[in-house]
Amino acid sequence: MILTRIALGVGLLFVVSLVIFWATELLPGDLATQLLGQSATPETVAALRAQLGLNDPAPVRYWAWLTGALTGDFGVSLANNRPIADLIGARLGNTVFLALYAAALSVPIALTLGILSALWRNSIFDRMANAGALGAISLPEFFIAYILVLWLAQTGFFPSMVRINPTTTFGDRLYMTFLPALTLTLVVTAHMMRMTRAAIINLMASPYIEMARLKGLSPLRIVLRHALPNALAPIINVVALNLAYLITGVVVVEVVFVYPGLGQLMVDAVSNRDIAVVQAIALIFAAAYIGLNLIADVLSTITNPRLMHRR
């Protein structure tokens, strides 16, 4: 089963790589002319096209790009003539750190709120938690980010721009990236909280839960020991989807806080028409998204024994 899921993930990633390459191929304008400017001579443009391999057929260029990506060689950045792997390596750790930071905040909060909302269903706490979750879902990331900057950055509690480097200590990194991490936490917590609540409430009407009530078990024990383990499959799926979003959906948040991650690098590459960097980052985001969904699929199957056996 796991091998089948891995094969499907690899096949899907191959299809996504085709989409990424052909989407950038369909962009208007000539790349060599864009890089050299309209005043460049035809000879200079032709020389640059030959240097970049733009005269080769598209399938040949796609195969060269794909085989290079599989070995970690994404080529050279057209904007600063540096290896793309070096550019990504310097930013990837920052994006992963921000995603893990937000996950460490959002997952415990979401699970706690979801369990308490299911335990105190239709109470004032449940209604307030659902109202807050719906409000967070309906607001775009950049709006939440600017509100946090207004409330917490302009008052001097936290910096509005993240300035970190390899020598920054772990404590300083946590402090300076708190606002972008909090923004992502507010965005993804609502989905996980509502799924946890719905999954537990759905199981609370099961016969074995009623039997546990008749035995005199406390509501909290019933939820934690009997309902929650059987609700893990949908919860794991929604947690994995939101973790994938934390890695792939950080572009807007990184731009707002000028965070030196892959999202900011991708925006800069788009503005500079650095197609090779855009392709590399898009492929990394796709691989992260597919990989996390694959892990969630396997874990949700393992936590539900009924899915492990064919009928």
| Residue in this structure with the two tokens 């690098």, named with its chain if needed | 265
Nearest CA among 220, 273, 281 for reference residue 254:
281
d(CA 31, CA 48): 9
Instruction: Say whether pLDDT at 31 is over 70.
Output: no
Which residues have C-beta within 8 Å of that of residue 284, sequence separation ≥ 6? 88, 92, 262
Per the structure block, which two tokens stand in for 64? 């060269």
Q: Categorize the per-residue pLDDT at 207 as very low, low, confident or very high, splitting at 50, 70 and 90.
A: confident
Residue 306: its pLDDT value, please? 63
Averaged pLDDT, 257-280: 88
d(CA 224, CA 239): 18
Averaged pLDDT, 263-279: 87
Classify residue 237 as exposed, middle or buried by CB count within 10 Å of its CB (0-12, 13-18, 19+).
Answer: middle
Residue 224: its pLDDT value, please? 82
Instruction: Say whether pLDDT at 1 is over 80.
Output: no
d(CA 226, CA 208): 8
Contact 128, 190 (CB under 8 A): no
Distance of CA 60 to the CA centre of its chain: 31
Contact 192, 235 (CB under 8 A): yes
Residue 227: its pLDDT value, please? 83
Averaged pLDDT, 83-110: 91
Instruction: Say whether pLDDT at 38 is over 80.
Output: no
Averaged pLDDT, 39-61: 78
Contact 184, 146 (CB under 8 A): no
Instruction: Say whether pLDDT at 307 is over 70.
Output: no
| Residue in this structure with the two tokens 């091998």, named with its chain if needed | 3
For residue range 282-305, what is the model confidence (pLDDT) as tens digits?
Answer: 999 999 989 988 888 887 777 766
258 φ/ψ sector (left φ>0, alpha ψ -120 to 50, else beta) = left
Instruction: Say whether pLDDT at 16 is over 90.
Output: yes
Contact 274, 87 (CB under 8 A): no
For residue range 119-169, what is the model confidence (pLDDT) as tens digits?
Answer: 888 899 999 998 988 888 888 888 888 888 888 887 778 888 888 888 889
Contact 57, 24 (CB under 8 A): no
